[in-house]
Structure 1
Amino acid sequence: MLERIRSGLLYTETDAAFRDPLRRAELVFAYNAISPAEPERRRQVLERIFGSLGERAVLLSPFHAAFGSNVHIGDDFFGNVNLTFIDDVDIRIGDGVMIAPQVTLATTGHPVHPALREDFRRFSEPIVIEDRVWIGSNVVVLPGVRIGYGSVIGAGSVVSRDIPPMSVAVGVPCRVVRAITDDDLRPRMSEV
């Protein structure tokens, strides 16, 4: 069954029940209740939730996860409030990634035809977010997407296709609008 799930084939809630021990719902709940004044304790709980967690990772409360154990986060990560991981399969986040508020990373979807949605039938495909990516507020990343190195995803986007490295992409559906170039090294506002 695990191979079926990892292959992106349809599976049901009943099929997936054997994976319930991998869910970290109680730990996620506990993390969201820990004061920000206790960073060491917060880190210890995150290490128990996620499959792997890099150095200097910051995740603001609250956050949500279907499992938690399928999330792998690199070094120097920043996740803002209300980050949701629908991690029925792996979500791999590289180093130096910044994620704004209200973002959903969803590895799982459901068939369009209602006859195929019996017993919550679904499919899952991994998400990969490469190093140095910035994802804006209210973005949804759908199953099977890879966001390339250094890219920026504009606020409110729905990412349903891979985004190449060093790109600015926005919209519903999310599309590349331009490359990131050396011109982007200039300060945003002129100094006074």
Structure 2
Amino acid sequence: MSNPQLIEGDWFDGVIPSNTSIDSDAYVESTYSFHCFESTRTIGLTLGPGVGVYRQTVFDAGPHAQIEVGSYSMLNGVRIVCDSQITIGSHCLLAWNVILMDTRRAPYDRNARRQLISLAIENDFRWPTDQVAAERITVADNVWVGFDCIVLPGVSIGEGSVIGARSVVYDNIPPYSVAVGNPARVVRQL
């Protein structure tokens, strides 16, 4: 897309940013998905053929963010918090309330967090996205992620894996695995 675009009949008064590459066969339900999209990269988001971006999915992308979603993947009410890079493969299913975050956006140190909050208040509550390092997330092809899951910074989920509902994925998941729990642990190989 070369210019910001509207979605006909959209309930949200927004646009699809011009620095996105959305295949003509992809579906985006609402421009609401882009209300937190601030990527300044040449291409900040790529959606492959047949991708479905459904109800209340949000691309919370910082200035240096690059998000890629492979062909025929479905995002249904997913929140992607990206300050570096998040890649989702082809034929993936991500259920509602899944959060993928390549950054925590807040330092562990209490005093540093307080300074960051003060800085945000001074800047009309715009949270600075360059204060904490981001770590790439990779979700390989044919992965299912159940509802209410959280995938933390630096995680890779291997091809063909299934992540059970309400799991917190803090470490890499090998291919063709079933992982569940908080923290997520592999309980079965497929």
Regarding TM over 0.5, the answer is yes
* Conserved? CA contact 1:54–1:74, under 8 Å: yes
The alignment status of 1:111 with 2:107, answered yes or no, reads yes
The offset of 1:170, in angstroms, is 0.4
The counterpart of 2:149, out of the listed 123, 139, 151, is 139
The alignment status of 1:100 with 2:90, answered yes or no, reads no
Aligned to 1:115, the other structure's residue is in SS state helix
Partner deviation per Cα, 1:67-93 (whole Å, 9 max, x = no partner): 28521000010111x210101111100
- 2: distance between equivalents of 1:171 and 1:88? 26
- Alignment of structure 1 residues 54-69 onto 2, 5 Å: 54-67=48-61
* Conserved? CA contact 1:91–1:107, under 8 Å: yes
Q: CA RMSD in A?
A: 3.2
The offset of 1:27, in angstroms, is 7.8
- 2: distance between equivalents of 1:72 and 1:105? 13
Between 156-165 and 117-126, report the one with greater CA deviation: 117-126
Letter in 2 for 1:88: D
* Greater percentage in helix: 1
The alignment status of 1:83 with 2:62, answered yes or no, reads no
Aligned to 2:166, the other structure's residue is in SS state coil
* Conserved? CA contact 1:32–1:62, under 8 Å: no
* Conserved? CA contact 1:59–1:78, under 8 Å: yes
* Conserved? CA contact 1:65–1:86, under 8 Å: yes
The offset of 1:127, in angstroms, is 0.5
The offset of 1:130, in angstroms, is 0.2
Q: CA distance change for structure 1 residues 143 and 32 in 2, over 3 Å: closer, same or farther? A: farther
The counterpart of 1:33, out of the listed 7, 12, 18, is 12
Partner deviation per Cα, 1:16-61 (whole Å, 9 max, x = no partner): xxxxxxxx9x989x97739xxxx88848978xx7521111001112
TM-score, length of structure 2 as denominator length: 0.68
Instruction: Give 5+ residue unaligned stretches, structure 2.
Output: 14-24, 38-43, 118-130
- 2: distance between equivalents of 1:90 and 1:58? 20
The counterpart of 1:157, out of the listed 149, 152, 167, is 167
TM-score, length of structure 1 as denominator length: 0.67
* Conserved? CA contact 1:32–1:63, under 8 Å: no
Letter in 1 for 2:144: W
Specify the structure having the higher radius of gyration (Cα): 1
* Conserved? CA contact 2:137–2:155, under 8 Å: yes
